Structure 1
């Protein structure tokens, strides 16, 4: 997050009471064990050890723990910085303190409206065991320092993994050369604690927050730069044997064709022979063609990609109905790689990625298929190339001979990392905390109106009660029944005559040309009168309610927990825009009002779109309001994912900024 230098305002000292509250919050959030007097001195009486300790008179152990986490000379300051591939604005608070014999450093970070505090490496070096410690090879650490997320196959040392490494938990990462020294702080995107073998797994496991050598580490009041990490820290619980066993099982997926800036770390080193043998858990007779032991040539990778495309089209033609055989056109680059190429590769390993081909990216690969007369492609606005049609009658497709595909290697990932439609149900069944609670939710937006004093009490009984449009229609019907002279001798049965109340209080509230004509005519249609009442905010102020599941709102007996909000109903905003050059990105915001957690949806979109997805502060929005940015034009994928979470298409506003403005028609 802190690749760029943050703007830190003037530091101010914390009051003693605020420092104690901050330390107690950290102790509670991170479940820090504070030794009791009986644990320190067994001769201490149980009655005395159980006596309540006041904040002003804490135990020595509690005071020492507080000072270790938040020194007595702690200062605080607000900060702002720009993070992520789109340089989104992030704001928050930093807490600065000096440990004995050392200069002041940033010890804790708090950003947005989150109450959670994130420790820096300086705090972790002082407080071993504060968070779960995970491990990865040292060359991966170098890539993590560039701001990348840690992919699941980059984890070494398990199973078993630390029990506290649950989704949303703060964790630390150390390299294998100095396994007891954390140099990277992140947040679990999946349930790491329930993982099995990580070889062959896909997706990001940890999202980076802070690391050694970033701008937070480098900050100091004297401008002396960051402090080097120690060689060894006693106190961290390590299992060195299990760490060494996991080194040979690294196989990190790197299939982003455009080399995203904020994507995960890709490992280029192949697995050792021992790791390959350990991964071969199927009988030899059931295995498909063995993967080549040496790295294939570029021509061999090209051939594998073309064969995978032919296999995908062959399967579609075999199982689908003409004319498109179940394929939805246009086919986007992300769909081509994720749903057609990767599942049909002979050898799905680190050697067979789009970057290892002669085309280097998906756009040139599609151009090659077009030149080979297999597909018809087109360049969209923004430089993205899509497939408009496939020649299903091509001789290469009709005579294609299927080959045996490798069986997927089983992994014990959590529900949050599974790319299946029964994700939420599986998580609930297993009691895991990684499921997305917004999946499958049913949402309803109900519009209510509060009448102004112009309509009370002649038409509507109260100006403090919220009414539905059907209730207001019933009030109007009752008003006309009380005044039958308004419905007699009109030009049509649908019309009503104007009386002083309708003319002065309704039609004169916001005079327009149509109202002037109506006043001149002396009558108005019933439907038009009702619409006039509901559409004019001077008469009826609109409010909205978001109802979940079986919730309902009865205006006559309102639920106190349901409070209508004024203004137009909420919406999710999807914006497609250019990032730099010809690259296109899709942003989505406004998720929080619909009960959707951007931090849970972001990793899901990263898999669905086969590209990077970052979560950051919404530019121009309130602090704590987040937006997700996905690589490419992904509006169709986003709409489908929102529909799975109960968001109706009517509540989505799509803005395409890639189209040229002001062109001649």
Structure 2
């Protein structure tokens, strides 16, 4: 619903009485349980009952409704903080862009900045309150929690509804997930962290198996990454969710653990997976491989010279073994840096991001590299806790940034454990079983050594090819289904002139050709211009002008484009089936500079995906290079799934430099500076 930025009017504070009414309305609508005295302290309840029995002759003191119990007061404050503000908003929703208006409630939880916590829209009595993810992260169990695969959740972030086959973890399903009820959705990677909010279109609680079912189950309202999530009074973008949240009732979803076992889920937040971006994920491959290896019937993926790696792959390691492998890999990375790079930083660019630590330091130095050796299989479960452990071991110095991210500021390469470290044999890179021509695959079809930014260092080339219209076939060009280069079309024209000597007889110059009925009618007669009229009157045209006339007329030669990666070539005589020309103008990366909140300048970057650049991976790099915040959201006006990076300040030079490192030529970049005053 909030893919496009809503218009939010001035905020105004809520009165205490209105805040209590709002909180009580939420408690009633969402059936929030208020603990009784017995549930809080059974001994205190018994003492109170005994005291009441001893003083039955005395009348009870009058109750004061304005003095709530401590439990009720605490729940009210958690749902609607005391400093809550409200404002009216308008936005456009749905495929028909229906105008929607309502109210947003803004508040700050302890130690955090103000965020939109509740959304209310609708007409009169039909209006209802929807929690944002910030509210759900602080109020576990507020709504029923559904689950879906992580690649499905990424599709939901583009504004799609959750289809029934996308549900995982049941039956049974949460009892509260009935028609019209508000539910939250989490991915399997972080099953206790809601990232999407919607309303049930069907009775999910009564569903059986969902495989093969059709239709939408939940309609999306709000999600982590939309404009409501990104809003803040200081314009510094949204705040990422935690790795896990205690308190969400996971017992109804016993099937989730089984579902996670069946998925080959690596550390996706640190990978640039083209297959995942396109909405396709191989389910169960990792489990299937694991089973075949365990039974002794599968083929080992390791090199022939590393039988010990194959032996390790035959069984699933213990958590302690994975922990030790990660620690040894980290020491190996420090050993390599100290040995192969010069001081003082030994080739390390601080601060080091969590994704860089895993993809460029840990993964390449793991003794065994398979689906069992990931951060999720360690006792730390996520990169932040792993960094904190390294800090306790006095190996690194870290710092927590806004949004919960932890970065490494320094590493101790002179530590005794690094000095006496003994290198071990590393497995060779795995060879892919299928041909890959996408970003990150080299000429030998090998996976990259790291799982970081695979677009770095890629070589790209844009080539234009043409498909001839029926007006030129077969007299000039042999086929209208084949794609030809400009040089081939020029060669066809040269051959046509050679086969018709009358075209060059009595011409004013060897560079000119006389007009025949074919050239006059089929070429110049197609979409004629004033220049064509002059040429027809003269009765001749230069060879170069004739070639240019054919190539620039889309009614004669329909342009298509190809993006060639890493020394790929396109041969029209024997085209590669994996290279399919696409119609329309060649793609470009768009850089837009505009003002926000009066004088603040921001840089927006879009159109990256077609060049194999993952905005989710590039954004943290730009944040580090630009020393400012960078957020990723749906590209306004773009196709669903096309993302846009927003960076604070005029960062066009930094962005162009980073794009150049990823194979983007300056000719493929358009810069639109909207901060300049338009000339009258």
Relative to the length of structure 1, the TM-score reads 0.45
Relative to the length of structure 2, the TM-score reads 0.44
Greater relative contact order (Cα < 8 A, sep 6+):
1
